[in-house]
Structure 1
């Protein structure tokens, strides 16, 4: 599956400065995580909306399930809150990493917030079942109101930061569960930018598969002149008056023409999230039209290629360097560079622990490491010797350089 990947130095610098300013320190140690994880990949055009993780969730926090909303037969929204009542700060479009233990096995999965960012006394994540997905099915079938979840984050740079005086037009294109971060963006912008308008194009197999169908109708009723929603169904119900077919290049071209009849191309901000074919079609069409790349933002949910065989890794010594200091340790079989780095006392930066946000990027100065694909590093970064410490394992003794926050 094709990927849209990016990491950038700005994100690491922003995170490091945020940690330093807040006086925060990474936690010591990580629970073992399954290698069968969900990776989140991002497009480089989102650099100007980079944001550091919210301070209260840089380390795992126990959140209580306040409510469960059945969106479809295969998707559930989980409303979470802190026991102490403090706000859960995040930006619209970000995701959270959920940590669960199922039958004695630890898992971590990333799920986007679907609630408005300014209504942060709670946060809602929406989870759609994945075929044979251990965590998504468990959350859909067994989670109850009053139970708790360990959550890390927020992470991601597929975000919109609202400005009350701003007037803009957002074109949101989603397919399936890709609606989740787009819903957070729509709810946030509609409430906080009274002069902005949104066009949402949303594709699904059938009406019963459309997550937030009723909620979107309610938003349209609340903002009739500012929100337009076009549903595209492959198998529509009888008397369906909407679009029928797939969100392919031809369908998107026709729908984009309709949107552009009301405003010029350079007035659009485009956000897309969903299956790879949909996103590829959006990118191809917008590139052909000449949209400024800085106005095109993408996020894709991509399953990992396969579980790593940790039995083939032997214990290896590791030396970690930052700003003239060094820490030594041993990466035991089954551990990642991040696990060993935290155990050594090194001030390792990290956020999602899934290879999707780039906060944990390190430079391999000596030695060799193995890193599962896909992940969010750019090919050029890999060629320069960078690795993601949260998923990389050493194949030999290694020496690493980290972007640590300055010491006080």
Structure 2
């Protein structure tokens, strides 16, 4: 009896053991779908993660704006820092003035407008200009009459109908008329009329109006006038500024100046902002400021997305000298995850491996990497933030268009 009970227990235990199919390396759900390691289905259009590797398609890489670049040893940067202030690039700042007294007749632009070269800005009515235009038209009529008279007298002189003295008199009259016309034309030009406008005076029905045009493309940054206002010749009416570049004025002590030269690279930053603006040294003052005992240095800075405006205070870094060689990466290539600093290396096309790195001090937007990558590694220099974010999430959706 005891033996029978033992056999029954053994048989029951064998029936409770599951039968395994041949292991193909994947799990299968009840519908027969292949599952990934966490039980979810792998769908098209999502990135794959294998430990610290993210795999993306070319479309995903393009959408994320990811760029990789091989890194090589280059001289480590050293920089001199100082605060500075932004001003207009005065080489690209145009004053608009009237060359004749008048009254503001019409305004064609407003403060802050973007204008192209040749755009109408303001129209002025001037009695002085009207008188000058009348003088020109009289001179032009006299010149035309004297020319016809001279041509007629020349014909008569050939036939000896009139004397040479009469011919000489007509010639002198025509020369005087020509000089008067040239003087009248010069007066109009000095009042601001173009050659084409002067030539068109004969067909005008209204005189004494002068329209001022934009001398260059840019932004209207000053327009201190009103309709009906009397304007004296030489009055500043508007300013047009090309703000694609600005100047940054920085002051350095005499001891700092030994490493600064015209042409050296510079970086300008704003307080409480990650924006960086590249520039270069374009001028070093030849006179010391007697009050502060500092030397003025002017930077020309690329004004990306109109982020810098005159009057702003900024921090400037100027490349002063080079130190030992190092693997330098843009600051944006280095991401922080918890207590670790990481970069992404594109081991093969579309395969981005996370690497922990040890770095030195950032200078002018470039950080030296001390440990974690080697020379020649293709490191992600743009879009690393996207990869860092996606590494912490499941799925990288592709938006098909």
Q: Is the shorter-chain TM-score for this pair beyond 0.5, marking a shared fold?
A: no
Q: So what's the TM-score if we normalise by structure 1? A: 0.18
- Bigger CA radius of gyration: 2
Higher strand share: 2
